Amino acid sequence: MKRSKTSKAWMASHVRDPFVQQAKKLGYRSRAAFKLLEIDARDRLLKPGALVVDLGAAPGGWSQVAAQKVGRTGRVLALDLMAMPPLPGVEFIQGDFTEQAVQEVLEQRLAGRPIDLVMSDMAPNISGIGIADQAKSQHLAELAMAFALQWLKADGVFLVKLFQGSGFEAFVSEARRRFSRVELRKPQSSRPRSREVYLLARQPRGAL
């Protein structure tokens, strides 16, 4: 099947993308690594010895950065529906985070230890139906926040990708109610035309 003009144009743009080129040069698995690097440089999320959970981890750009930052004394647990080739310093779980059984596997790996940072770059498979895709995206963000509120340390941090649209403002308001500090970030490495932003929340006030 021939590619559509739209997909060809996207691929051409993707190949020319300076962050894609830089990711290849530096050995990062995705351009998304630069989003986390930029946010971390500003907000100091990743610290040596920290326990980090990376939801929606594949292909592994964020996990790579996290593993480098937390070092040998830290721990990175990554989860994704898609398979992800092994990464040094990263424990990977393949499964659908929306399924209770998969969440239980992740919780078993934690063995009761509270988390320093929960980060979620999860996004649904795009159907092209805007309302449905936005609803799915919001649902994933809500699941990630519920997990973070249950497992974060008192001074823990939650970083989640959101898409501006229906339900966005309500989610931000709920986050402000559940965390002591909430800010929004739009990294330079995030494509300007993308509706994605990252919500950064600190110090959970309690579980759902």
Can you say which residues are annotated as belonging to the binding site for S-adenosyl-L-methionine?
60, 62, 80, 96, 121
Binding site listing = 60, 62, 80, 96, 121
DSSP state of 112: T
Give residue 86's Cα distance to chain centre.
Answer: 18
The answer to whether 198 and 137 are in contact (CB under 8 A) is: no
Q: What whole-number distance in Å separates Cα of residue 99 and Cα of residue 136? A: 14
| Side-by-side strand order, sheet with 115-120 | 90-94, 75-80, 51-55, 115-120, 152-163, 196-204, 179-185
φ, ψ at 111 (rounded to 5°): 55, 40
Q: What whole-number distance in Å separates Cα of residue 61 and Cα of residue 121? A: 10
161 is catalytic: yes
The answer to whether 94 and 102 are in contact (CB under 8 A) is: no
The answer to whether 183 and 44 are in contact (CB under 8 A) is: no
Cα end-to-end span (Å), the chain? 47
Catalytic residue among 35, 69, 136, 161: 161
Residues tagged active-site:
161
